[in-house]
Structure 1
Amino acid sequence: MTFDEVVMGRRSIRGYKPDPVPRALIEEIITLASRAPSSMNTQPWHFHVITGEPLARIRRGNTENTLAGVPQSREFRTGSGGFAGVHRDRQVEVAKQLFGAMGIARDDAERRQDWVLRGFRQFDAPVCVIISFDRALEGMDDAPFDCGAVATALVNAAWSRGLGTVINSQGIMQSPVVREHAGIPDDQIIMKAIALGWPDDDFPANAVVSNRKPVAEAARFVGFD
């Protein structure tokens, strides 16, 4: 694929084939992602790549804790409240697209809950990549900014190789579960989860392409003729 084809064609994948992803291919993708820019080349990111039984244990722990009402324990700041205004509007818009594609009615509480739990199960992908950064950098804005950059590079690199991904926070909301079964050391702050695998083309939500605001709305040009 050309760069434009990767960027314009990539979309979030929420349904996966069970086929395993070769370790060598994941290493190739991480090598590409690691070329992302970082502040003064500090490269604060770490990748914890999980599959098989350890990932199954994380899924079970996440789901059981969530259903039991255990409060979320994300380690990276979550902000003071939910989305509001236009940001909430965009969140609702893509949710409507996804529920519409899946045929989930507004009053179908059981299927809506199952959809939420898919996030805690990392969307049943065969691989989950946890991104963390060094605790020594806690409180600095550069570290999470750089981790965002490397996450973007990773999902694009994966797409260029035929793999799908979705970045999510639900997969790391029960951080003690993730830390235990992924063996993440205490000197790391868990930031994001990325589900990764071969897209299931028959999964309806995978056809959803979220809208993007136009350049005229997103950008201001100063000093141009």
Structure 2
Amino acid sequence: MSLPSPSSPSPFTPPTPEQTAAVEAAIQTRHSMRAFLPTPVPRETLERILQVAARAPSGTNTQPWQVHVLTGASRERLVQRLQAAYNNPEELAQHAEEYAYYPSEWVSPYIDRRRKVGWDLYGLLGITKGDKARMHAQHGRNYRFFDAPVGLMFTIDRVMQQGSWLDYGMFLQNVMVAARAHGLHTCPQAAFTQFHRLIAEELNLGPEQMLVCGMALGYADPQAVENTLVTEREPVSGFVRFLD
């Protein structure tokens, strides 16, 4: 049974100050959380979040997103397979990303931002430079969805091109912002792309489906020090030109 469409004011009605504040708060409080409570998320809440997120724009309304929601036993089976592969050097060497998420050659300012967020996180966790064992363990927490009770996997049909990936990014942002409206947090995770073959097997994906990314979703652990990390953003003057 499909859910009723969420009620909403006319797009031509100016928002109230409270509505404006709520939208801005949902966006501004969206942070990538890396520690979650085991508290279950009701299925109806997940369905509502995804229904709202599906209002994302897409070229000629193609709606290229496909979502696979893992909870309970299905989530645990995937977690066990991923962790076993990640912690086995021989098996890990057999897995590689199917598409390049990051540039092959880093330049400033991007490499500087990347390094800063990495060391800011490690600093909070007390992981020092050169502590490869703890770095490995921390990165491995990706494959437990940082203990979130809900794991999301996002796939796209291989026939779709670059424009559809832009559309997909808007859908992912909608998921994360809609989650905040329900008091939930998320962590989008490109780390899963390395294990696309394993994930495709576990989820019984057809050969036409390509993994875009994964995402942890749940209630953030307010006591976890890593969740205090708030990444810096450039001021508007740093990335915008106003042309009169």
Deviation by residue 1:110-136 (Cα, 9 ceiling, x = unmatched): 222111111232222111111111222
> What CA distance in whole angstroms lies between the structure 2 residues aligned with 1:159 and 1:183?
30
Secondary structure of the residue aligned to 2:52 is: helix
Q: Which moved further from structure 2: 177-186 or 201-210?
A: 177-186
What residue number does 1:162 align with?
183
What residue number does 2:142 align with?
119
TM norm structure 1: 0.91
TM norm structure 2: 0.85
Q: How far did 1:201 drift? A: 0.5
**Count of residues paired in the alignment:** 221
Q: How far did 1:80 drift? A: 5.4
1:1-225 → structure 2 map (5 Å cutoff): 2-69=22-89, 70-71=92-93, 72-78=95-101, 81=104, 83-137=106-160, 140-222=161-243, 224=244
Deviation by residue 1:140-179 (Cα, 9 ceiling, x = unmatched): 1111111111001101111121111011111232112211
> What CA distance in whole angstroms lies between the structure 2 residues aligned with 1:79 and 1:115?
20
Deviation by residue 1:6-62 (Cα, 9 ceiling, x = unmatched): 111211111001121111100000011101111111101111111122222222222
Q: Which moved further from structure 2: 16-25 or 51-60?
A: 51-60
> What CA distance in whole angstroms lies between the structure 2 residues aligned with 1:40 and 1:120?
35
Q: Which moved further from structure 2: 151-160 or 67-76?
A: 67-76
Percent identity for Structure 1 against Structure 2? 29
Q: How far did 1:84 drift? A: 3.0
Where does structure 1 lack aligned partners over 5 or more consecutive residues? none
Contact 1:76 1:189 in 2 (8 A): no
> What CA distance in whole angstroms lies between the structure 1 residues aligned with 2:32 and 2:207?
30
> What CA distance in whole angstroms lies between the structure 2 residues aligned with 1:119 and 1:68?
16
Secondary structure of the residue aligned to 2:98 is: coil
Secondary structure of the residue aligned to 1:11 is: coil
> What CA distance in whole angstroms lies between the structure 1 residues aligned with 2:169 and 2:155?
11
Secondary structure of the residue aligned to 1:136 is: coil
C-alpha RMSD over aligned residues: 1.7
Q: Which moved further from structure 2: 63-72 or 97-106?
A: 63-72
Query: Highest CA radius of gyration, 1 or 2?
Result: 2
> What CA distance in whole angstroms lies between the structure 1 residues aligned with 2:28 and 2:102?
30
